[in-house]
Amino acid sequence: MDFKLPLASALALVFACSAASAQDVGTLRKIRESGTIQIGARDSQIPFSYKLSADSAPIGFTNDICLKIVDAVKAKLGLPKIEVRYTMLNSTNRIPLLQNGTVDLDCATTTNTTQRQAQVDFAPSHFVTNITAAVKKSSGINALPDLNGKNVATVSGSTSIQLLRGARKSGTIEVNEIAGKDTSDGFLLLSTGRADAYVLDDVQLAGMIASAPNPGDYKILKESLRQEPYGIMLRKDDPEFKALVDETVNGLMKSGAIEQLYSKWFLSPIPPRNANLNFPMTDAVREIYKNPNNKGV
């Protein structure tokens, strides 16, 4: 009998098969057989995962942590070399492309939430951020309630957009929401005046402001919508790989090596403009380094 499967159903079937295949083959076996590890990265998440040019490999704080995981995988498998291949992800495709085996690790600024834990696993958190807003100093906006009636930029698929909508539902803040496709697009909405504020993680806002042509024009509000932990994502139901990832990240924290990486990316000049974020380690970050965990919000 001849029949045509609707396009949506066909795509769902392909995704389901790809995801099942990724789960059937453990990540370490996949890496051993291919000689390659696939890392999910970003174009512009300074200083966690970003590119200096279209053709360059990503760099950044989270990327450095993931390269330590690559070293641990090489040692575990007894391989002299593993090729690192990068795939640029965004807030909407990062989980599907991890689940279907396109990438093995998501190495950027993904918030560890209990909702996402139903779909993926997380390494011990490597950063804790505050969700707040960046504005131009000339805007007259000094606190979150001042956003009422304003055009506010967010990023599609991010937790900040959910928090902002939650505030709107509670009647705390009523704004006109403008969604950017990624973090740099969101900052462009602010810098060009199409948005009066940009709601995002404070450290990412600091990175974009430090790299802007006129960083003195901006400020970050002190109030916070919520604290959020960042974690490296990996596929669920892969205990051997997760144990190696956890051991590596925990080791960086217990040895103090994570503090050296922190100093490199948050307290020193970084490319491309040799700007220094001057973002001291908060008590929340010190706590997760002292007592590593992968608790979600």
Q: From the first residue on, what is the mean pLDDT of each consecutive set of 10 residues in the chain (297 residues)?
A: 45 47 75 98 94 96 98 97 97 96 97 96 97 96 93 87 73 84 94 97 91 93 92 98 98 98 97 91 96 96
* DSSP track, the chain: ------HHHHHHHHHHHHHHHHHHS-HHHHHHHHTEEEEEE-SEETTTEE-SSTTSPPBSHHHHHHHHHHHHHHHHHT-S--EEEEEE--TTTHHHHHHTTS-SEE-S--B--HHHHTT-EEPSP-EEEEEEEEEEGGG---SGGGGTTSEEEEETT-HHHHHHHHHHHTTS---EEEEESSHHHHHHHHHTTS-SEEEEEHHHHHHHHHTSS-GGGEEE-S--SEEEEE--EE-SS-HHHHHHHHHHHHHHHHHTHHHHHHHHHHSSEETTTTEE---PPPHHHHHHHHS------
Q: Given this model, what pLDDT does residue 173 score? A: 76
Domains in the chain: ranges and CATH = 7-126+231-290 (3.40.190.10), 130-228 (3.40.190.10)
Residue 166's pLDDT is: 77
